[in-house]
Structure 1
Amino acid sequence: MERSSVQNRIVIIGGGPGGYEAAHVAAQLDAEVTVVDTDGIGGSAVLTDCVPSKTLIATSDLMTEMAGASELGVNFQDHQGDAATTVKVDLAKVDARVKQLAADQSRDIQARLERDGVRIVRGRGRVTGPHTVSVDGGEELEADAILVATGAAPRVLDTAQPDGERILTWEQVYDLQEVPSHLIVVGSGVTGAEFASAYLALGIEVTLVSSRDRVLPGEDADAALVLEDVLTRRGMNVLGTSRMASVTREGDEVTVTLTDGRTVTGSHCVLALGSVPNTHDLGLEEVGVELDEGGFVVVDKVSRTTVRSIYAAGDCTGILMLASVAAMQGRIAMWHFLGDAVRPIDLKKVSSNVFTSPEIATVGWSQKAVDDGEIVAESVTLPLGGNARAKMQGVRDGFVKLFCRPGTGVVVGGVIVGPRASELIHPVALAVEASLTVDQVAQGFTVYPSMSGSVAEAARRLHRV
């Protein structure tokens, strides 16, 4: 396809997934692209959040597999031939690998941007008009369109201030100077559950403080119950319906005080209290960009703000805080402004994953939506314990759940709980995206034996004559 010779000036504030993916699309469409970045290309997703946390979790997953090795006939011996009784993790080496991989990924992304002809400007960008961005109050950049992709930061409270040593946000855990003897995780959402699960698998005592009656209150209830059962069975102390009032430190001890007066004492505490958007003092409201009461940028389904020439993508919009969603919002913004084919974002087709052990992957309509009458759907749930491959691998916990429309059998959602659920959800996501029927999913060949065979089997059980 012949490209347009028209040059459009695009300025992107923020080098995370929303920013760098938008830059690639704009460069592909022959725009003149500048990315203004403060903390490093890749943003928090690459440098302090997704890439580091999932690298840490990769090590914890290996520890989980090793814990079940004896059941599969694998035993460990020391150099004298005696049975080895413990497996230990070198946390300093793990953290060094985490930070190195994050830095390498950031460099790789920057190199590709530069190959695409994208200009990268180091500094803090501020919107000074519908078509202008200043960098640290100095260089003024002219733009036909501006994309704000500044992300979000960990939420902290006055009564729970991180010190970077023993009271930590999730961005600070990779600089631990010693292995925690007892880690307290405050917050049982996705971030809190992931870190609690990971450190438990690394052999660390973990207490999870949850203000709700179960972990992962925003996820499928059946999936959350499976996870909580597994975590408690492995030794985690889960404090449900326990709201944190304050976190204090005295010497080498950290104390979490609950609103009912109880206290929990440990060596370290990770705060997983949600995120706040990085939109303060960006000049957005001054030029007419609407922010909601939480400070998030208000956008439509093509990432456009209330100012026609200004778009926004990623966590700063609060739409759905996933790197994949940020990237798609950024691409959609550029496709829309530069006149390429574009389809508005559909959050009901977004697949997501909680990287606990076991993992929890979801896509499409949820059980809660069905229960609340938002959509009429039939469902079936198959425990993974009946899957031949799962039996071979010693997997007992988990399930596959599919939702379909009655009558037509069109797949509208699914939940998978188990090892590598993030990989297994893809065929379900494709079915939701393409509006495939359960019969079409069932008639596709799967490998025998395989975990994915349970997806096809669930679809077969939803067949209607």
Structure 2
Amino acid sequence: MTHVAIIGGGPGGYEAALVAARQGAEVTIVERDGWGGSTVLTDCVPSKTLIATSDVLTEVAESAELGVELPSGVHADLARVNARVLALAQAQSSDVGERLSANGVRILRGTGRLVEGTTVEATSADGTVEQIAADAVLVATGAHPRVVDSARPDGERVLTWEQVYGLREIPEHMIVVGSGVTGAEFASAYKGLGARVTLVSSRDRVLPGEDADAADTIEDVFLRRGMEVLGNSRMESVERVGDTVRVTLADGRTVEGSHCLLALGSIPNTADLGLEENGVRLDDGGFIQVDRVSRTSAPGVYAAGDCTGVFMLASVAAQQGRIAMAHILGLAVHPLDLELVSSNIFTSPEIATVGLSQKAIDEQGLPADVAMLPLAANARAKMQGVRDGFVKIFARRGSGAVVGGVVVGPRASELIHVVSLAVSANLTVHQVAEAFTVYPSLSGTVAEVARIDTSDSR
């Protein structure tokens, strides 16, 4: 029997543990903060629960054209919202722990580190130390919010995304520093909850790493809803002044608000784990270097999830963990293929993507056609009052094979699965177009886009 030791109980760790246990391996998993890791306790599950409330309020606020008459003063009780957020996170964490136990995984609450080869030292909260001699080790320790000395969070007015769930009232004016995925999601959420929001972006537009059409759509929506977006505005410092915060920009301008949310990126949790001492190579940012089957540079040591910096998504972490276990246990292995990954940004509207982007297509010099239709032309979208968003498909020129796509709209995270299946199964636009869709439905636009004749643009 193979003994696998796993450090970290987030998606990369617990999914790997379940795979290994079901294959008959002996599995020990060590987790410091709680089962599910930051994904469940402080990041993905809490933020998307908060966003769910924000989305309801946004839909209600924009439902007048559907003939809905609203009483004045419709608002969210943030104390109740955040209580629900934290309760759901704890419930999900408990569910993960129960699944691990039910599958025969030995679970330890504490900190783990490599001490020699594939031996893990686990230290529990009461100081008990145990040496776990394993045949293989998976490191899945995640990451934490990046902070800088000039903008130190205090947990009350200056906050990281892990600290916002202690708020009991809607911020009067939330300043969000950082216009990447996390910053855009929280800016959208707090605007929907009723706060005044200023988004500080160091780049010329929000979501600079995303599809340009999608990013432009989101920024237009933000501005239309009354959000202030400060482009090309790098944060110099954040300071608390009594019950207010002052954000100073690099050009000397200042922005004052009631709260500031810092969305400055993530730092991998790789310090003090005995990694480099045991031959595990890290990059300059502290991320563990892995190959496509999750191997590190040290024999028998694997890594998965945000601590690798490969693609910081819970779904990718879980896949890396599963791949690692398949490789360790001698099962059929399908190396990680990032060109098949689907992802979603939970702004309102959402942005979902899969496969190759326009940027990747241009960089690779791939002969490809692009077709795009706005959702506003869709019958179901008109019925629901949807006016923002689109479906875009990239197809290989000649064969018509779908290589990527972008969906912007409500519940884009659900709609992208149609395109994801096409990319994964190497379907052609003809095959996508011929599949039946319900009328009326938003998914009908996917088929309509696939029917567009792009021959005139070749």
TM-score by length of 1: 0.96
Q: Which amino acid aligns with 2:225?
A: R
Question: Corresponding residue for 1:25?
Answer: 19
The yes-or-no answer on 1:131 pairing with 2:118 is yes
SS in 1 for 2:293: coil
User: What does 1:32-111 correspond to in 2, within 5 Å?
Assistant: 32-76=26-70, 84-111=71-98
* C-alpha distance in 2 between matches for 1:178 and 1:365: 41
Q: Is the 8 A contact 1:438 1:462 kept in 2?
A: no
SS in 2 for 1:123: strand
Say if 1:121 and 1:370 are closer, same or farther in 2 by CA, change over 3 A: same
* Per-residue deviation, residues 116-172 of structure 1 (Å, max 9, x unmatched): 000111111010111200012821001000000000000000000000000000000
Q: Which amino acid aligns with 2:10?
A: G
* Per-residue deviation, residues 266-314 of structure 1 (Å, max 9, x unmatched): 0000000000000001000001000001000000000000112000000
SS in 2 for 1:44: helix
* C-alpha distance in 1 between matches for 2:10 and 2:50: 20
Structure 1 position 370, deviation (Å): 2.8
Question: Corresponding residue for 1:225?
Answer: 216
Q: Is the 8 A contact 2:10 2:142 kept in 1?
A: yes
Structure 1 position 69, deviation (Å): 1.8
Structure 1 position 375, deviation (Å): 2.1
Structure 1 position 85, deviation (Å): 2.4
* C-alpha distance in 2 between matches for 1:394 and 1:368: 32
* Per-residue deviation, residues 334-376 of structure 1 (Å, max 9, x unmatched): 0011011110000010000000000000001111223445422
2:164 to 161, 164, 173: 173
Identity of aligned residues (%): 68
SS in 2 for 1:396: coil
Question: Corresponding residue for 1:4?
Answer: none
SS in 2 for 1:417: strand
Question: Corresponding residue for 2:183?
Answer: 192
User: What does 1:37-436 correspond to in 2, within 5 Å?
Assistant: 37-76=31-70, 84-136=71-123, 138-436=129-427
* C-alpha distance in 2 between matches for 1:374 and 1:92: 52
Structure 1 position 464, deviation (Å): 6.1
* C-alpha distance in 2 between matches for 1:384 and 1:87: 28
* Per-residue deviation, residues 65-95 of structure 1 (Å, max 9, x unmatched): 101222111113xxxxxxx223111000000
Q: Is the 8 A contact 1:409 1:462 kept in 2?
A: no
Q: Is the 8 A contact 2:369 2:395 kept in 1?
A: yes
* C-alpha distance in 2 between matches for 1:358 and 1:179: 21
* C-alpha distance in 2 between matches for 1:66 and 1:109: 34
Flag structure 2 segments of 5+ consecutive residues without an equivalent: none
* Per-residue deviation, residues 184-217 of structure 1 (Å, max 9, x unmatched): 0000000000000000001100000000000000
Q: Is the 8 A contact 1:186 1:272 kept in 2?
A: yes
Question: Corresponding residue for 1:13?
Answer: 7
* C-alpha distance in 1 between matches for 2:319 and 2:8: 15
Structure 1 position 107, deviation (Å): 0.3
Q: Is the 8 A contact 2:352 2:416 kept in 1?
A: yes
Flag structure 1 segments of 5+ consecutive residues without an equivalent: 1-6, 77-83
Alignment length, in residue pairs? 452
* C-alpha distance in 1 between matches for 2:414 and 2:365: 28
SS in 1 for 2:407: strand
* C-alpha distance in 1 between matches for 2:322 and 2:288: 17
SS in 2 for 1:107: helix
Q: Is the 8 A contact 2:8 2:142 kept in 1?
A: yes
Structure 1 position 463, deviation (Å): 7.0
* C-alpha distance in 2 between matches for 1:420 and 1:114: 34
* C-alpha distance in 1 between matches for 2:112 and 2:360: 40
Structure 1 position 462, deviation (Å): 4.3
* C-alpha distance in 2 between matches for 1:172 and 1:119: 31
* C-alpha distance in 1 between matches for 2:360 and 2:312: 20
1:456 to 432, 447, 450: 447
* C-alpha distance in 2 between matches for 1:397 and 1:179: 26
Structure 1 position 243, deviation (Å): 0.1
* C-alpha distance in 1 between matches for 2:75 and 2:158: 24
* C-alpha distance in 2 between matches for 1:195 and 1:258: 20
SS in 2 for 1:198: helix
SS in 2 for 1:446: coil
SS in 2 for 1:56: helix
* Per-residue deviation, residues 17-50 of structure 1 (Å, max 9, x unmatched): 0000000000011000000000000000000000
